[in-house]
């Protein structure tokens, strides 16, 4: 039997920045997608999605033409074939997990990473592939293959584990101290609107940046500071100014969080405040946070959370709270204000 797993992920700082080639700070948590597989004699992958009660069948001889949007099993096979992988026997595969679906914890990317790991594991000639490369291949299969608007944060974080500062321009990852130890995740029960939110946020941010670059060709976003927001504001068309603000100040928050997390003993209260500042921008400028979730997060802060934010692209889904020692009170606050579920999670290096 072959068994592989991949964790969920939380972006703590830098949401809606990776598709602008700006850095993010994200971590893998102890919620997982699990794949178990045994060989069969049918020359096909028989995939049972246990949590959904669905089954998919893919012939190992599938020509992989006209792959439907979102068919990550076939896109994963197709991408690996371009790197010389071959598939010569079938497997009966069961997939199940503890990651809530369509909730912002990146269950789809966890599935993609786990699937890539499985496809590597079944090669007749063993191939040594590092975690960063697995993240890249998963990104190619999930985002690039279907020309979707997301960045590479999810796949890179899930494939490498731990808490990472990811330079999305160079694809370099820097491990950070795991000071974000006491975490609570709450499920709002509201479905997220990933592609709509991502598309709008990406297009508006890019158009704001393009306006600045047209007027000032030497402008370098990676050297931008908060002062540049006001400096170039009159150049940016009014409809993109809110996202221009989000671009500049979210970047600054991420750099501050990185600096704090690189200290011998990071200050969790500072990290909590930076999380709150980030959420304020997501809520007011990118406008990805429903009113119901705002009320839940305010309740968590009142219960003693140091910081709270929405997870993922937004529009619904999950929230995270950074705690000191009061996780139980925070979970109760989320639940009494409408959350579907709330539980403690931990950062994990298990991949």
Does 315 map to a domain? Answer: no
Whole-number Å distance between alpha carbons of 88 and 338 = 50
Number of domains composing the chain? 1
Tell me how far apart the 2 most distant CA atoms of the chain are, in Å.
66
Token pair 């705002």 in the structure block, residue:
294
Q: What's the pLDDT score for residue 350?
A: 66
Neighbours of 247 (CB within 10 A): 30
Do 180 and 322 meet the contact criterion of CB atoms below 8 Å apart? Answer: yes
Q: What's the pLDDT score for residue 224?
A: 95
Domain ranges, residue 74: 2-175
Does 297 map to a domain? Answer: no
Q: What's the pLDDT score for residue 196?
A: 58
Q: What's the pLDDT score for residue 150?
A: 73
Whole-number Å distance between alpha carbons of 299 and 286 = 22
- Show the CA angle centred on residue 79, arms to residues 74 and 83, nearest 5°: 140
Q: For residue 107, give the CATH number of its domain.
A: 3.30.230.10
Does 98 map to a domain? Answer: yes
Does 159 map to a domain? Answer: yes
Whole-number Å distance between alpha carbons of 270 and 257 = 8
Does 333 map to a domain? Answer: no
User: What string of pLDDT tens digits covers the 351 residues of the chain?
Assistant: 999 999 999 999 999 898 899 999 999 999 999 999 999 999 999 999 999 899 999 999 999 998 999 999 999 999 999 999 999 999 999 999 999 988 889 999 999 999 999 999 999 888 889 999 999 999 999 999 998 877 889 999 999 999 999 999 998 999 997 778 899 999 999 987 655 565 678 889 999 999 999 999 999 999 999 999 999 999 999 999 999 999 999 999 999 999 999 999 999 999 999 999 999 999 999 988 999 999 999 999 999 999 999 998 778 899 999 998 899 999 999 999 999 999 999 999 865
Does 95 map to a domain? Answer: yes
Q: What's the pLDDT score for residue 217?
A: 95
Whole-number Å distance between alpha carbons of 115 and 122 = 11
Does 347 map to a domain? Answer: no
For residue 333, the number of C-alpha atoms closer than 13 Å in the C-beta half-sphere is: 25
Does 132 map to a domain? Answer: yes
């Amino acid at each position: 039997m072959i068994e592989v797993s991949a964790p969920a992920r939380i972006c703590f700082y830098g949401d809606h920045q990776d598709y602008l080639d700006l850095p993010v700070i994200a971590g893998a948590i102890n919620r997982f997608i699990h794949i178990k597989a045994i060989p069969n004699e049918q020359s096909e992958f028989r995939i049972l999605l246990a949590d959904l009660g669905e089954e998919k069948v893919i012939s190992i001889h599938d020509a992989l033409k006209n792959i439907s949007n979102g068919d990550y099993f076939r896109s994963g096979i197709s991408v690996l074939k371009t790197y010389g992988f071959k598939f010569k026997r079938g497997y009966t595969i069961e997939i199940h997990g503890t990651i809530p679906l369509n909730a912002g914890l990146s269950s789809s990317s966890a599935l993609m990473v786990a699937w890539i790991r499985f496809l590597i594991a079944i090669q007749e000639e063993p191939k040594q592939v590092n975690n960063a490369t697995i993240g890249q291949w998963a990104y190619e299969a999930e985002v690039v293959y279907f020309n979707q608007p997301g960045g590479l944060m999810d796949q890179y974080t899930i494939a490498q584990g731990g808490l990472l500062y990811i330079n999305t321009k160079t694809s370099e990852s820097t491990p950070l101290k795991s000071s974000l130890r006491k975490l609570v995740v709450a499920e709002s029960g509201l479905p997220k609107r990933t592609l709509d939110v991502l598309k709008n946020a990406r297009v508006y941010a890019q158009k704001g940046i393009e306006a600045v670059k047209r007027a000032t060709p030497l402008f370098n976003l990676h050297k931008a500071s908060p002062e540049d927001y006001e400096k170039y504001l009159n150049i940016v068309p009014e409809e993109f100014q809110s996202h221009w603000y989000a671009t500049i100040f979210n970047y600054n928050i991420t750099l501050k969080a990185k600096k704090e997390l690189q200290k011998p003993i990071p200050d969790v209260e500072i990290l909590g405040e930076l999380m709150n500042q980030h959420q304020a921008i997501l809520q007011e400028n990118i406008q990805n946070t429903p009113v119901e979730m705002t009320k839940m997060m305010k309740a968590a802060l009142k219960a003693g959370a140091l910081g709270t934010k929405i997870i993922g692209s937004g529009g619904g889904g999950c929230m995270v709270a950074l705690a000191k020692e009061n996780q139980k009170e925070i979970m109760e606050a989320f639940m009494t204000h409408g959350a579907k579920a709330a539980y403690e999670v931990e950062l994990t290096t298990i991949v």
